[in-house]
A and B are shown apart, each in its own frame.
Chain A
């Protein structure tokens, strides 16, 4: 196979990379966030939007990858990861893998099993999953022990604890090879029916009344030369969202009820809008532990931690190529040069003066305006920000309805009011009105990824192409300027949005809804007094609106159900980021749906999460079907 032209184009988690390659590009920062609880017995569910890192985490604990980690332990790439694996007890410095990770994907045809093929409901699903767990376990055991061929499995004997007496559908063979043959034959029996041409009479499929493979994995003992091996086990089931709902609910319920004494990791997409995870009687913390990967980064230092993780991911990929030297961050300039700012100074001052003109004679703002005018002699970004901040503060004060004495406001009051959100509002207004770059620098780029590695990589791929292009063209600076970065990132954002109809089942409606939300947020953001500084980037549905949405067709009819589907898909695909909104004295609790941060760049909105506006389901239905129309002309900008 040929070399990779762009190291960021390859998805990291899936089987597209070899185990060795995966081991070298895996960023251990995610392990730091993984709780020790996850390695204890019980059911643990990992959730995220696609590309959030579920499969990456699971794959890191498979024996072949663990072995690759162990083999490469002396290399620079593994310097950070290796001690973390040792600390978690999954690798031993001398002996190699200490954990038998068994990974199964639910994408392999379970949903295609005919529901009515057996008298036992979902019996064939259980039978198929059981035989695959057995087969994958034995194959993983071979890798765990470093076997190079299946023949070596002959040296593994199998014994069972007393618990195995309850096994009805998995035979108690004494040899690993024999058991693997049984599992293969069982799968073949099922596929003889499942993989047949259409039009033949259905045969009865093998069926099982319960998931026995968990009990089996708990009860089985593997012996090599009379010595027990692979006692520390982990069952990982990926892509649960690919099961039919009944299958998924049944699997989670049954596994939880079995209370396994080893960890079972289930990975699935973010649950949205009322999908229930727990069976009756099961409790979060006691029976099931749930980890939302996006929320791992959502603490007060979240974005800094994610940035550090993201840089690690990017630099590991940069190390896999030779075209560009240095780290990724070294190639992205995060400040504007004075020469780049100069062309914006006069238009900036003119825009400020035009906006402030009606207030020039007002004694109340005399000191504020004098100070602002004085600063105009310095052609800096700071000066422009100061002017726009003053402009916002004047607009806010002028908008107050109450009577006030015509006393001059002291200049120092501007400093007191100059908060980071006000500054953010000034920055986005500078971008909107003058076209001064806003979306540049590594930190901004990481924020735009919305805590999603796949989005990070797709944007990095575009930036990398830009870096290579400027190198080929022999440009003087080895870095991408803020202008170049912004252009590339906004182009990516535009593509992301334009691909929505082409990549999603409810894509056309989702596209219309997202464009409407974007337009609405812009209207609310670019008001002269920036009331929701730095801007509005989301909408909120109160709990009563959420209840309507989840009531099926009862409250809102067919359109309500359609809206629920469109919103669910947008959230599941990371196009909208759902965050809870707590109740206060003035409002009930609800859910905030923020725009994906890359889409914020497309709409020219700020990247901070904060400002949102309450809307109703009827508003959203209207936006989804007909598109949002501005209520009035925008006061500023486009």
Chain B
């Protein structure tokens, strides 16, 4: 491109896309296209399982990279249908770049795409020998919009191949001007205008030969680079606003020329009105009829809320029995089997058994119990995205999120967070811009997940038995206020660049999700969660086990230490004074909060465990957990146990939700934002807890 004028296209840093580790001689292929043009579906069809996701260096922009392999035997690859079995294998390193309407980037995601294309173009421009091809994915239902991006890519001088998608939709589901053209005829007409290969592809149909023809076209262009005719590198002398507009007008004219060559134009059409819809006088498509209900001013919001409720139910009520079954399997038969196996080698009851069963296996079990909820969430999001409803959700919920500078789609993960923060974090991937994903990801831990409810019920019942319901409601209200407060604070500080600009959204036609594509997407995303977030969870569990296995008082063997004599409890005692200003500076509360860092579900259990250990001589009938809580919180707060309990609940609400959520944040956003958020959450939670106690104890 000519330049990145600050007025029109705020530059958002620079990134360098790392290609996947295919063979060094492999052709580099960049997939470029607008949002919702079927680019990722094409990428999945080309790479199959030979792909992985990674963040573009220095950004939180997620990139899918993979190896596109065709032909050959004994390579472990699966040649595309129709590929000659005797042909040698060909590998190409392929990157699915973030969707964009323009190479004049307005977000970090778009900048990654612009940089990758320009980097490849620069390699050719400097007389370099690198082999690279850009596959521009054109949406057959919106050719004019797609051609503009293609023109920008062509200006960089990169060799080009065009993949024409959405052909199955263009005839049936839209009133696109080219809807009545046969795919091959449209491709041929485009190829004649552009001077580069144009291949119609149906990514969901691996047997029609479209993918094979695309592979051949890419290989041919890699060997003998071809560039779009009629597009020249622009003048780079000026990068001001006027120049960019003038230059865009040149590209618009070129787009109109190409488009008018495809479809007859009304005799008196004015400039800029090319490709008028044949149904512009009001013919309704299937999507239009559906949107009459789904975008209706009165019905649209209830439908959206019903969809969110369904997601909430899927990730809680539906996934819970599966989670429970996996937990029982791991902690029951699997743990017994490992113990039995160790016993065969005389290693039962030793520290090794503790490490393997109580550390490693518990960690693996924790990861495994999250698999159903993550798979359900990924599948549900995939359905919403592939069907075309997600874009409608962004439109419907736009007003609600506008004050936080967020896309309407952000409301969906934030509500899901009240069920479980982990799938909610995963759901941030539906947001189009990296900064919005990060901001939403930082707010999600403040949504009160259902695991925290068990603690609210315990403490509210113990300290406010007559108003327990009101207290629990107040905690949920506090959660909403925290999300809003933190969102507004972040927008005015670290996220000043996140702005609530005008909503200009292309609504894709509704489609039926393709099950095989959906299944593969779910599998790949679950794998990424297990490999990247799972490792952190397992390591943390082992560290927690080690803390609990090492005795600091008494003469206990490693791995058989009462909680009260463990290093874990010693550490809890060490940090307890930190909470004295908040009224809960006692060992039990500190130990419970440490356990809560691992998972909020076990906070109640931690309380029960620590009280029974610390006060072994207490008569049973006087030893209900509530009474002990009241006693210790009363002691640590000079008689203001209620205020201390409220402060404890506020701290529990505002600090890190669990290690799994932390690991997912790290996977999505990297270490630095995660560590910063962790520190901010702890500090913020402490300040709020102190405030609540200091005010509450004076009432």
A and B pair up: no
Interface residues of A (CB under 8 A from B): none
Interface residues of B (CB under 8 A from A): none
